[in-house]
Structure 1
Amino acid sequence: MDGLLLDSERLAVESLALSGAELGYALSPEFCHGLIGMPADTCRELAVAAFGPGFPLEEFFRRHEATVARLVDEGRLTIKPGVHDLLDELDRRDVPRAIATSSGRDRTRHHLRAVGLADRFGAIVTRQDVDRGKPHPEPYLTATAALGAHPEFTLACEDSPNGLRAAHAAGLRCVLIPDLVPANAETSRLAHRVYPSLVQVIDYIAAANDELRYRPVLW
């Protein structure tokens, strides 16, 4: 969802830096980018590792969630190129799809409602719906099960290395559309395709019509 359907990672990086500064901590862009695609519990571990056991975890993340929500409510959240066209194409082909996200349930619902996408998916799997978040395969295995789909016949679309690792470990074919974290040797090897936007995924599905006709798509 974040960084693939929604142009939300830049808001998250801005919010992380603002929240850290309010508490007297300077969070570098590199540190903030390192949290992209990570579940909240892993982000907490990384923050303690970077700033020590005295880092005010709960207050920091409380401020972060409130700041992100404020930025979204101010109308700063936008969708990524090709989202509506791709969803319309999947509707036309009657292809079911789900979201498998590292974000929590409240943030996921809030963001999707803000951009009018809340009712466009057959299933939504958040961090609260699994025991282990990305890069573990559980989010994708849970999402495919919710759709009644087999991972081998499901296409994943991802923007982050951790999401790509999760999809690959779950046995899905994955298209990578990098957002803030560019493709590298590892992610290019794991990805079935690397595209600049979801617009190219529409063309991919059209070209592979027979192969993908009954393959759900996950985000």
Structure 2
Amino acid sequence: MNNFKAVLFDLDGTLIDSEHFYFSNWAPILSEAYGLQISFEDWISNFAGHTLAHNVAMLNKDFNLKVDEKEMWTATRASYANADMRSIRLMPHAQELLEVVKAKGLTTALVTSSYKTTVDIVLGEHKLLDYFSFFITRESVDQPKPNPEPYLLATKKLALPSEHIMVVEDTSTGCTAAKEAGLFCVGVSKQEVERERLSHADRLASTLKEVESLFF
């Protein structure tokens, strides 16, 4: 593990414990506007790690709904604002891992399908923005994960050979993007359904504490 010179982190579910937040905002909208009841397990299995556009398309195809993407965007953003994204907690050991990576002198960047406003609000609240050299967000690319474009762009910005870059992801979607960009990917999840989908990760961990051990 000593050959890595940079670490690219995913955000949602990897560094921040946001899936409960998103689920608690989407579930009432789906129930009230479309009569669809979903559990948190449904959220993890079908929604987590995907963009709003992907989830809307999935709802229309798999659940035979007629969800308008712009309307869902407006509804979810209003719900997020009322719920206050600053309340989203860090994943356990997230800050400690960032400290270890920094102490090792490695370049750190964020590659996420979330928008820059989300990054600024949540990581800003936890005073973690300065840990990152740059941010690849939804606005940065035409094709989000699982397309490799976000990681290819990050690799270009780093100006490093791919073998010197580690990616930390919590979903199959993100891991697929990283692997298709030719990068080493550590999958981190306690969710059994997601762990099964992360079989293509180079390493699999249950917690960020386990990831920390890779640097020693």
TM-score (structure 1 length as normaliser): 0.84
Letter in 1 for 2:33: L
Task: Report if the CA contact (8 A) 1:3-1:9 is conserved.
Answer: yes
> Among 6, 14, 18, which residue is 1:4 paired with?
14
Aligned to 2:152: 141
Aligned to 1:212: none
Task: Report if the CA contact (8 A) 1:39-1:102 is conserved.
Answer: yes
Aligned to 1:210: none
Aligned to 2:54: 42
Q: Secondary structure at the match of 1:175?
A: strand
Aligned to 1:203: 213
Query: Could you tell me how far apart the structure 2 residues matched to 1:26 and 1:114 are?
Result: 33
Moved more, 121-130 or 144-153: 144-153
Moved more, 53-62 or 151-160: 53-62
Task: Report if the CA contact (8 A) 1:141-1:151 is conserved.
Answer: no
How far is 1:32 from its partner?
A: 2.8
Query: Could you tell me how far apart the structure 1 residues matched to 2:27 and 2:96 are?
Result: 33
Structure 2 counterparts to residues 127-166 of structure 1, below 5 A: 127-166=138-177
Query: Could you tell me how far apart the structure 2 residues matched to 1:133 and 1:165 are?
Result: 11
User: For residues 86 and 14 of structure 1, do their structure 2 counterparts lie closer, same or farther at Cα, with a shift above 3 Å needed?
Assistant: same
Percent of aligned pairs sharing the same letter: 28
RMSD value, Cα: 1.9
Number of equivalences: 203
Query: Could you tell me how far apart the structure 2 residues matched to 1:107 and 1:82 are?
Result: 20
> Is 1:176 aligned with 2:187?
yes
Q: Secondary structure at the match of 1:119?
A: helix
User: For residues 70 and 113 of structure 1, do their structure 2 counterparts lie closer, same or farther at Cα, with a shift above 3 Å needed?
Assistant: farther
Aligned to 1:213: none
Letter in 2 for 1:201: V
Q: Secondary structure at the match of 1:97?
A: strand
Q: Deviations over 1:139-178 (max 9, x none)?
A: 1111122222222210000001100111111111111101
Q: Deviations over 1:165-216 (max 9, x none)?
A: 11111111111101544311x522x11211111111111111xxxxxxxxxx
TM-score (structure 2 length as normaliser): 0.85
Letter in 1 for 2:157: A
How far is 1:106 from its partner?
A: 2.0
- Unaligned 5+ segments in structure 2 are 1-10
Q: Secondary structure at the match of 2:114?
A: coil
Aligned to 2:8: none
> Is 1:59 aligned with 2:71?
yes
Moved more, 28-37 or 52-61: 52-61
- Unaligned 5+ segments in structure 1 are 207-219
Q: Secondary structure at the match of 1:3?
A: coil
How far is 1:50 from its partner?
A: 3.7
Letter in 1 for 2:55: C
Structure 2 counterparts to residues 106-117 of structure 1, below 5 A: 106-117=117-128
Letter in 1 for 2:123: L
> Is 1:96 aligned with 2:113?
no
Letter in 1 for 2:195: A
Task: Report if the CA contact (8 A) 1:159-1:176 is conserved.
Answer: yes
User: For residues 118 and 27 of structure 1, do their structure 2 counterparts lie closer, same or farther at Cα, with a shift above 3 Å needed?
Assistant: farther
